[in-house]
Structure 1
Amino acid sequence: MTTITDTMANDHRRCDSLFVEAEELIAHGNWSEGQVKFEAFRDATENHFSMEEGILFPGFEQRTGQSAGPTQMMRMEHVQMRQLLVDMETAVRLMDSERYLGLSETLMMLMQQHNMKEEQMLYPMTDQVFAADAQATLHEMKML
């Protein structure tokens, strides 16, 4: 049986891989391919956030009665990451590698800390809270 932790951690790895590929392409001045890879990363990240914010977090909050706990912090960090993505997209359009790479470094640090909190604390909590409903929840998240 696949767990929420495993599924979402694997999705983190998928997003991370796209992120690294975009950064490498842009660092080497390959703007055309870099832009395509950045857009794939941005879209994958937004999809990940949507699964969490649209299904996982509300389900967790409903089951636990906690709306001001870890999910609120994760949403706040999503806002920060979304703004960095907007700024990075502008840097890509302007072909400003220095700006892009600086923002990329900031985003990487934020993502690493964010993902660690989710993978080590929040996702294991969701596995416990969702228990028998986990597979149905994962299916619903994949349908987004």
Structure 2
Amino acid sequence: MTSIPEFMTNKHRECDDFFTKAEAAVAKDDWSLALGHWQQFASELSKHFDQEEEVLFPKFEQATGMTSGPTQVMRMEHQQMRALVQDLDNALAAKEKNDFLGFGETLMVMMQQHNMKEEMMLYPMMAQNIAEGEQIIKSFQNN
């Protein structure tokens, strides 16, 4: 059975990998390859955010009573990242290499900082406070 921290951290790494491949393809002007990797990244990132916002965050808030703490900060950061993903979508569609790489650098820094907070603090707190964590992860694995 996989824990919340283990599963969600692995998802961060998968997203990072898709993103890095998309960025490398853009740098080489291989737009079709970039699009494929980018679509995988954007899809996985969206799914990851949904799992957190629709399942894990509410369960954590219910278990701890903390509704304006770390989960609120994470939701705000998700919104900022979604806006950057849209900017990157637009840059990719227009084949604007410099814009894509510039927005990409901003997104990567933001994701690294965000992921560190989740991996070092929030996910371990979730593992301690969400009684049905393993069942939740099992449902994520099946979707």
TM-score band, normalised by shorter chain: over 0.9
Following TM superposition, by how much is the alpha carbon of 1:134 offset from its aligned partner in structure 2, in angstroms?
A: 1.4
Aligned to 1:65: 65
Partners of 1:140 and 1:70 in 2: CA distance: 24
Stretches of structure 2 lacking an aligned partner (at least 5 in a row): none
Following TM superposition, by how much is the alpha carbon of 1:137 offset from its aligned partner in structure 2, in angstroms?
A: 1.5
Partners of 1:4 and 1:75 in 2: CA distance: 18
Residue identity in the other structure for 1:89: D
How does 1:64-143 map onto structure 2 within 5 Å?
64-131=64-131, 133-143=132-142
Identity %: 45
Following TM superposition, by how much is the alpha carbon of 1:143 offset from its aligned partner in structure 2, in angstroms?
A: 4.5
Q: Deviation per CA, 1:120-139, whole angstroms, max 9, x where unpaired?
A: 000000000014x1111212
Partners of 2:138 and 2:6 in 1: CA distance: 14
Partners of 2:40 and 2:136 in 1: CA distance: 25
State TM-score, norm by structure 2: 0.97
Residue identity in the other structure for 2:90: T
Corresponding residue SS for 1:68: coil
Stretches of structure 1 lacking an aligned partner (at least 5 in a row): none
Corresponding pairs, count: 143
State TM-score, norm by structure 1: 0.96
Aligned to 1:16: 16
Q: Deviation per CA, 1:86-139, whole angstroms, max 9, x where unpaired?
A: 0000000100000000000000000000000000000000000014x1111212
Partners of 1:125 and 1:47 in 2: CA distance: 21
Partners of 1:38 and 1:2 in 2: CA distance: 27
Following TM superposition, by how much is the alpha carbon of 1:57 offset from its aligned partner in structure 2, in angstroms?
A: 0.3
Residue identity in the other structure for 1:45: L
Aligned to 1:35: 35
